[in-house]
Structure 1
Amino acid sequence: MEDEFAGQNFESTGNVIKDEAAGFNPGLIVLLLVGGLLLIFIVGNYVLYYQAQKTLPPKKKKPVSKKKMKRERLKQGVSAPGE
């Protein structure tokens, strides 16, 4: 009776080992591939952005029009020159 039980237990263990050695799950391979490509894309963009910030000159501000300057001075209570 013990031999039969031991034999069945050994057979079931052998089947489990066979199933695990079958290979990777295809879904896992696709997930790792897509995740790796996404990670490379994000890191690459960060590196390019960092490099561009170091090498590109700062943006020039648009010149403020005379009309806007006059309006700003009037809001602050300072009279515009020539008035």
Structure 2
Amino acid sequence: MSGEGSAGKAVVEAKGLNPGLIVLLVVGGLLLTFLIANYVMYMYAQKNLPPKKKKPHSKKKLKREKLKK
């Protein structure tokens, strides 16, 4: 009797979603959500944050400043 019960459960599980597929979908969904959230934050930062001020590091300018001092 116990053998028949386990065989019946196996058939029911085979008809349903595979546990490996469920794990794959969950992990894939989390990864996709993470990537989309990163892209949204990147676009938000590009629009709203001021650009970084870059100091000129020209060798000629550095030499001139040293000579002036």
Structure 1 ranges of 4+ moved more than 2 A: 18-22, 67-71
* TM-score after normalising by structure 2: 0.62
Percent identity over the alignment is: 66
Aligned residues: 53
Query: Relative contact order, CA 8 A, sep 6+: which one is greater?
Result: 1
Q: Rg larger in 1 or in 2? A: 1
The alpha-carbon distance between structure 1 residues 23 and 68, as it changes in their structure 2 partners (threshold 3 A), is: same
Higher helix share: 2
CA root-mean-square deviation: 2.7
Query: Is the aligned partner of 1:57 residue 2:50?
Result: yes
Consecutive unaligned residues of structure 2, counting only runs of 5 or more, are 1-9, 64-69
Secondary structure, aligned partner of 1:42: helix
Q: Give 1:19's aligned residue.
A: 11
* TM-score after normalising by structure 1: 0.52
